[in-house]
Amino acid sequence: MLGLVAESLNQLREQTPTTVKLFDWIKRQITLATTSSAYGPSNPYKNRTVEVAFWTFKSGMSNLIMGLNSTRTASKAIHAMDIDHHIPLNDIARSEFANGVALLSNTVPNTFWMLYYLYSDPKVLAECRKEVSDVVMVVDNQGEPTRTLDMSKVKTSCPVLLSTYKEVLRFYSTAVSARLVMEDHMLDNRYLLKQGSTVMMPTPVQHHNSTIWGPDNATFDHLRFARSEKRPNQAGFRAFGGGATLCPGRHFATTEILAFTAVIIMQFDIEPKSHRWVQPSRNKVEFWEATPSPDEDFEVEIRSIESEEQGGRWAFILSDSDKPIELSAEDLSS
């Protein structure tokens, strides 16, 4: 996966300057890199029609989940699922769509918000560029430098970058965990949970609790997870769920997002065509999504940074995969 990210961004350098819609461009880059790492050379998402159909179907999932699968309420999603071949329902259930949801549905918007916050704040961007620059290894390859980024060092030696990422997860997560009550239980000597009932736990309630995060819980603070003193209780950070349903792909997604972000900020400047970064609204989030996408996309210009420190090709290595990033309370005990 890391090699595919590097290959994609090495090619982008040759295409700049270029104007793109930021979210759509990130969606395209992450989709191809992620699915190619999962499916290999026969990746079906290389077919633009398949890629577009996936995202169209995803946008109508809420109606389908609730059983509103009539042609009136979910026509686009059904058409994207059923192009030409009229796939039987049983075969649809066995299809690969669920893998696409797991691989892409939250990775793409999290990458968008990460880049949005870095580029909209020059000070934070400069801090993260300095951190990444300090862990890049440069090797001359027949006159062309190859810049190798060890993702293990990024995870341990780039505290501002990592804290910004975790704050994106805290600030934007809309996930809802659900648990079935197996037997009557008195919670905290105050709440009787009856056997057979369902407990819903919205992540935003936990992630914006002033008892856990302080009075500034509604403010985006990129250093919230980097401070040595008064660090928040990790048990209150539930962007990836927890317990038996803890997201098994959290480290895969995190490595991809950090790798993509690191190379982007080291190679490119990004500026809105309007010359002003405006916080996009996120009111159209689907109820099943863990991270909202921006309601409206916007155009940006991507320009290569022309300097000796950014030139050449980029590559990734992972020297130590045994030490996980602390993305959940469970990671602390692993």
**Minimal CA–CA distance to 107: which of 6, 34, 36, 1?**
34
Dihedral angle at the C-alpha atoms of 163, 168, 174, 177, nearest 10 degrees?
-20
Helices assigned H by DSSP within 121-150? 122-135
298 three-state secondary structure: coil
Amino acid at 296: E
Q: How many CA atoms lie within 13 A of 288 on its CB side?
A: 12
- What distance in Å separates the CA atoms of residue 306 and residue 205, rounded to the nearest whole number? 44
CB 283 within 8 A of CB 133: no
Instruction: Provide the terminal-to-terminal Cα distance of the chain, rounded to the nearest Å.
Output: 24
Tell me whether strands 313-317 and 144-150 are parallel, antiparallel or unpaired. parallel
Tell me whether strands 18-21 and 185-187 are parallel, antiparallel or unpaired. unpaired
CB 202 within 8 A of CB 176: yes
247 is in an annotated binding site: yes
- What distance in Å separates the CA atoms of residue 161 and residue 261, rounded to the nearest whole number? 9
**Minimal CA–CA distance to 60: which of 283, 290, 289, 297?**
289
In the chain, DSSP assigns E strands to 18-21, 136-141, 144-150, 176-180, 185-187, 191-193, 198-202, 268-272, 299-304, 313-317
- Tokens standing for 68? 């509103």
261 Cα distance to chain centroid: 10
Dmax over Cα atoms in the chain, in whole Å? 70
Known binding residues for heme: 247
